Amino acid sequence: MYEVTCATCATQVLVEKFSPVHTSIQWTTDARTACPEFARHIAEGRDPDRIPGCEALRASIDDQVRRGRVPTDSLRREPTPGQFD
Ligand SMILES: [Zn+2]
């Protein structure tokens, strides 16, 4: 998993892409309150695992992908707590 910070609300998430079109986002507990859009979805009763996050976060993720910081073909593996590579 790769750490990406939202440029707007500073929410930190872990991102992994198994293909250019697939994006897996792992929210931290803090993100659920830090991102206003995420908090709104939660308030509406949505499944946290299916919330794509705020627009700015998606833009931030795309930006990191463009910079090559998040590979789009990473092999599926379990995240290691406390370690981002
Ligand atoms: Zn955000």
68: confidence class by pLDDT, cuts 50, 70, 90: very high
Q: Which residues pair with 3 in a beta bridge?
A: 14
pLDDT single digits (tens) 43-60: 999 887 777 678 888 899
Dist CA 78 CA 60 (whole Å): 23
Q: What is the pLDDT of residue 76?
A: 54
Residue 29 has pLDDT above 90, yes or no: no
How confident is the model over 62-83, as a mean pLDDT? Answer: 76
Amino acid at 18: F
The alpha carbon of 81 and the centre of ligand 1 are apart by a number of angstroms equal to 23
* Token duo for residue 68: 């090559």
The alpha carbon of 38 and the centre of ligand 1 are apart by a number of angstroms equal to 8
The alpha carbon of 23 and the centre of ligand 1 are apart by a number of angstroms equal to 16
